[in-house]
């Protein structure tokens, strides 16, 4: 791939461009974008087909693995696969119990789903950057990004889904009045004398805090994974320079891949735990 592009910047841009389908404003037709500029021109209603396909596919793999583990589970001596699945479930369960003090049968399965799904999406970053894009080119597909968590559309969609649950349970557990009171009477105590001045300030501060939750949740995952992918791409560029840099690039690639295992696991864990924390806050009924 690096040898087929004229410049390093062209190589990098190719690997950071999604396979986008949308309405081409120049032709007036729904089609796949032939370049990054065409993809940008398609606007909001375009769809990154590769991100959607890989995220859905990895979600299906997650379900199949856990269904297989559930059907083959035994009370006797479990095999390595069952031990591995049980270790993940028990680890997530312990984290949920330590953070979430309320009764809700949705939270633990949600935390498990988020952790495993995000981990699998992040794990795709360890696939060598040229392998699948090269195969896609041979099949006539111009672009192919295989790490869904490097697409802000995917990470923000997941974060907004969690945010929707936070709003739902905030209103369900506290009532609409209680939820609005929480936004209006914190962080500064309000009396009948200070209400005209402090209520608007409190509401703005709490609203910003509330909106910051999905923004930070989605952008944290995207930023870390995008940076990791960029480093892999920059290391791959070294292979097209000379033998010395190629050898150095190989060593750096292995070192970064080993370190990146920690990053992809940590990012999946943080996304899962913070989601539980936000849901726990939504269930907390404020005495004020």
Say which residue the tokens 């891949």 belong to.
257
280 is catalytic: no
- In the set 224, 272, 275, 280, the catalytic residue is 224
Residue 103, burial from CB neighbour count under 10 angstroms (0-12, 13-18, 19+): exposed
Residue 171, burial from CB neighbour count under 10 angstroms (0-12, 13-18, 19+): middle
Cα gap 129→146, rounded to integer Å:
9
Cα gap 271→218, rounded to integer Å:
8
- In the set 9, 83, 98, 216, the catalytic residue is 216
The number of CA neighbours under 13 Å toward the Cβ of 225 is: 32
- In the set 104, 153, 181, 220, the catalytic residue is 220
71 is catalytic: no
Least Cα distance to 48 among 175, 145, 166 occurs for 145
**Is there a contact between 228 and 196 (Cβ–Cβ < 8 Å)?**
no
24 is catalytic: no
Strand order in the sheet with 30-32: 30-32, 20-23, 47-48
Which residues, other chains included, contact 27 with Cβ-Cβ below 8 Å and sequence gap of 6+? none
**Is there a contact between 283 and 104 (Cβ–Cβ < 8 Å)?**
yes
Using the CB atoms, write b or e for 68-80: b if 16+ within 10 Å: ebeeeeeeeeeee
Which residues, other chains included, contact 122 with Cβ-Cβ below 8 Å and sequence gap of 6+? 147, 149, 225, 263, 264, 265, 267, 268
Residues with catalytic function: 216, 220, 224
């Amino acid at each position: 791939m690096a040898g087929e592009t004229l410049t390093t910047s062209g190589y990098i841009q190719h690997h950071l461009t999604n396979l986008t389908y949308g309405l081409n404003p120049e032709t007036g037709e729904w089609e796949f974008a032939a370049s990054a500029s065409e993809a940008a021109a398609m606007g909001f209603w375009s769809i990154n087909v590769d991100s959607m396909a890989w995220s859905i596919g990895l979600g299906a793999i997650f379900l199949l693995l856990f269904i297989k583990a559930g059907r083959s589970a035994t009370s006797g001596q479990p095999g390595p696969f069952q031990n591995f699945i049980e270790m993940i479930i028990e680890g997530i369960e312990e984290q949920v119990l330590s953070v979430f003090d309320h009764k809700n049968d949705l939270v633990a399965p949600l935390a498990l789903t988020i952790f495993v799904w995000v981990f699998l999406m992040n794990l795709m970053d360890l696939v060598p950057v040229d392998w699948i894009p090269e195969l896609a080119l041979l099949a006539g597909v111009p672009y192919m990004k295989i790490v869904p968590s490097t697409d802000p559309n995917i990470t923000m969609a997941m974060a907004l889904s969690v945010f929707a649950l936070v709003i739902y349970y905030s209103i369900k557990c506290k009532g609409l009045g209680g939820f609005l009171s929480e936004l209006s009477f914190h962080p500064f105590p309000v009396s009948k004398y200070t209400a005209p001045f402090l209520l608007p300030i409190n509401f703005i501060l709490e609203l910003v805090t509330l909106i910051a939750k999905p923004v930070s949740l989605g952008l944290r995952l995207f930023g870390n994974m995008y940076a990791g992918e960029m480093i892999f791409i920059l290391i791959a560029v070294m292979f097209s320079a000379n033998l010395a840099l190629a050898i150095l690039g190989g060593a750096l690639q292995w070192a970064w891949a080993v370190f990146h295992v920690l990053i992809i696991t940590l990012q999946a864990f943080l996304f899962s735990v913070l989601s539980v924390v936000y849901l726990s806050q939504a269930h907390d009924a404020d005495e004020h």
